[in-house]
Amino acid sequence: MASGTTTWRAATEAALYGPSGFYLRPEGPAGHFRTSVHASPLFAGAVAELLRRVDEALGHPAELAFTDVGAGRGELLTAVLARTAPELGARLRPYAVERAERPSGLDERVTWLGELPEGVDGLLFANEWLDNVPVDVAETDAEGIARQVLVQQDGEELLGEPVTGAEADWLARWWPLDGAPPGSRAEIGLPRDAAWARAVGSLRSG
């Protein structure tokens, strides 16, 4: 890799989660755009109902986890807690998984974590999270070979080495570029698959 260049994945990681990264800024994502979490209280109501159904399906365990992955500034957790019946609320263990610092004034019942809690029973919720897991990008060159897209410090892109190994296998299965015209692109979603597997694996039941 040439000096001053990096992979698409590394460049995205720095832009989103590095020093002064977008998702670590004090105003949080809600300072720039709205998602379903912010758009209507009906969304939190639906999640609270889902949580109630998970509790029922698990036989009302002594402790029920509600894990919000990519929790922003705790907006969804706050709204769901406000809509949870007292009996369930007494057994609820809410977790916020987020790389930003814990916001001031957040309900003290919320456990703020940088990593997923392990071996819990309950509901894992990941609203618009996987699209923020950085991945590499491949592009076909003039010969139709899928190559990694590299990013220079000034933002200019160039093609690197051919995609090989597990990443090439992933492309062949999920986003094949064979026969695609030059300049065709694909996201190599292997890191997202791994992130989702870790998330699902954090649940003992739920």
Contact 61, 92 (CB under 8 A): no
**Nearest Cα residue to 72 out of 122, 118, 109, 106:** 106
What is the per-residue pLDDT for 34?
A: 67
**Nearest Cα residue to 170 out of 142, 151, 192, 149:** 192
Contact 151, 8 (CB under 8 A): yes
Task: Tell me the domains of the chain and their CATH numbers.
Answer: 5-16+135-195 (no CATH), 36-127 (3.40.50.150)
Contact 206, 120 (CB under 8 A): yes
pLDDT by residue (tens digit) across 40-51? 789 999 999 999
In single-letter form, the type of residue at position 13 comes to E
Residue showing tokens 């300049």 = 183
What is the per-residue pLDDT for 22?
A: 82
Distance CA 177, CA 186 (A): 8
Distance CA 28, CA 35 (A): 12
What is the per-residue pLDDT for 27?
A: 74
User: Would the pTM count as exceeding 0.85?
Assistant: yes
Residue showing tokens 């809690």 = 117
Segments in the chain below pLDDT 50: none
136-140 vs 92-97, strand pairing mode: unpaired
C-beta atoms surrounding 69 within 10 Å: 21
What is the per-residue pLDDT for 32?
A: 72
**Nearest Cα residue to 71 out of 19, 123, 29:** 29
Q: Please give the structure tokens belonging to residue 106.
A: 């957040």
Distance CA 118, CA 201 (A): 8
What is the per-residue pLDDT for 2?
A: 56
